[in-house]
Amino acid sequence: MYTLQISVKLHDTDAAGLLFFANQFKMAHDAYEGFMEQIGFSFARIFQDEDFLLPIVHAEADYKARLQVGDRLIIQLTVEKIGDSSFVLLYDLSDADGKSAGMVRTVHVCTDEGTGKKRSLPDELRRGLLSES
């Protein structure tokens, strides 16, 4: 499991001062980037040194509780599923008291950088994902 702690910023909110629902995706993506770096696959490495990409092909979110400017948020990322060419990540967004405020799920597919066609996950990436599941 990967954990990221952040605070809700003014630019994350809507006109009512509450977390704008779509910004759950942005926050989850911040956790995703940190997680990938932790398992050795920073986006700099992927874009510069690898011959594959990991586009998100599906994303969904549930907004469960109000969050406003200054609220502390803990994002816990877990690897939900690993397939031959894809993986699913689950992000639990909780407030400082541990109450779930939202949930995000993303599905990533490994594609060949040149052709854009689906391909098997590289073994090193699979091992990194398995170490966190």
Neighbours of 77 (CB within 10 A): 23
70 Cβ contact partners less than 8 Å away, ≥ 6 residues apart = 7, 8
- Write out the DSSP string of 113-128: TTT--B-PPPHHHHHH
The number of residues making up the chain comes to: 133
Q: Is 14 noted as a catalytic residue in this protein?
A: yes
- Rounded Cα distance, 93 and 84, in Å: 28
DSSP state letter for 10:
G
First to last CA, the chain: 7
- AA letter at 121: L
Q: Which of 14, 51, 62, 84 is catalytic?
A: 14
> Would you name the residues annotated as active-site residues?
14
